[in-house]
């Protein structure tokens, strides 16, 4: 699986929160946007590999498009792409480009709304409804459920962990 999103959307923070109970998955988090310059691979036990992609948009590495497009196109074993969207600002122009890329490459992907602790409940509800409407009407490869999460309060983390375990074959029903 891979995690992709704008610079400073909280990819590394989310990965750190998701694997807070797995000390073998060590993730470094920086306060500076654009800290992740290369793809970081994390082997999660014997189960699966998780890839933390560099951010796009502001502070993106110069070779971002070549590096990320090649990875996404040429990985038949890529189970799911987690596209992180800032829950406070919603889908931005650069996010739309990433969505188009996922759709063009026919990638199975899911939208994760980050930083939900920074918005009021009313504002967040409005954002979720708008983004859900977008997913329902404008996408084909996107998983129909959004995952609103906070790496600070851990809100939504357990549900996303369960989804991740399910899609990687580690949670049997």
CATH of the domain at 150: 3.40.50.300
Cβ(59)–Cβ(65) under 8 Å? no
State the average pLDDT over residues 160-171.
Answer: 89
Which of 10-24, 59-73, 90-104 is predicted most confidently? 90-104
- Once rounded to an integer, what is the mean pLDDT over residues 41-51? 84
Q: What DSSP line would sit under 108-149, residue for residue? A: -EEEEEE-GGGS-HHHHHHHHHHHHHHHHHH-SSB-SS-EE-
Residue 32 lies in a domain: no
pLDDT for res 105: 93
Query: What total of structural domains would you count in the chain?
Result: 1
- Whether the per-residue pLDDT at 35 is higher than 60: the answer is no
Do residues 101 and 72 lie in contact, with contact meaning Cβ atoms separated by under 8 Å?
yes
Q: How far apart are CA 133 and CA 144, in angstroms?
A: 10
| Mean of pLDDT values over 59-72 | 81
Contacts (Cβ under 8 Å, ≥6 apart) of 158? none
d(CA 165, CA 153): 21
Residue 19 lies in a domain: yes
2/45: higher pLDDT? 2
Parallel, antiparallel or unpaired: strands 40-44 and 48-52: antiparallel
What is the per-residue pLDDT for 84? 98
What value does the CA radius of gyration of the chain take, rounded to a whole number of Å? 15
pLDDT band at residue 25 using 50, 70 and 90 as cut-offs = low
172 assigned to some structural domain: no
Distance CA 44, CA 27 (A): 12
Q: Confirm whether 68 is domain-assigned.
A: yes
The answer to whether residue 119 is domain-embedded is yes
> Domain for residue 173, yes or no?
no
Asked if residue 110 lies in contact with residue 82, where contact means CB atoms within 8 angstroms, the answer is yes
Q: Evaluate whether residue 63 is within a structural domain.
A: yes
Residue count of the chain, please give it.
173
159: in domain: yes
Q: Which domain holds residue 21?
A: 2-27+37-167
């Amino acid at each position: 699986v891979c995690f992709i999103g704008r610079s400073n959307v909280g990819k590394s923070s989310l990965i750190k929160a998701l694997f807070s109970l797995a000390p073998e998955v060590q993730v470094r988090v920086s306060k500076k946007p654009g800290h992740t310059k290369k793809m970081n691979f994390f082997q999660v036990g014997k189960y699966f590999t998780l890839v933390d992609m560099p951010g796009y948009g502001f502070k993106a590495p110069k070779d971002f498009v070549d590096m990320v497009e090649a990875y996404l196109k040429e990985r038949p074993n890529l189970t799911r792409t987690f596209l992180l969207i800032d829950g406070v600002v919603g889908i931005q122009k650069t996010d739309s480009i990433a969505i188009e890329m996922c759709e063009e490459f026919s990638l199975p992907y899911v939208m994760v709304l980050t930083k939900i602790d920074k918005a009021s409940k009313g504002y967040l509800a409005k954002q979720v409804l708008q983004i859900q409407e977008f997913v329902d009407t404008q996408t084909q490869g996107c998983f129909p459920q959004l995952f609103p999460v906070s790496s600070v309060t851990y809100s939504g983390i357990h549900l996303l962990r369960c989804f991740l375990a399910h899609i990687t074959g580690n949670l049997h029903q």
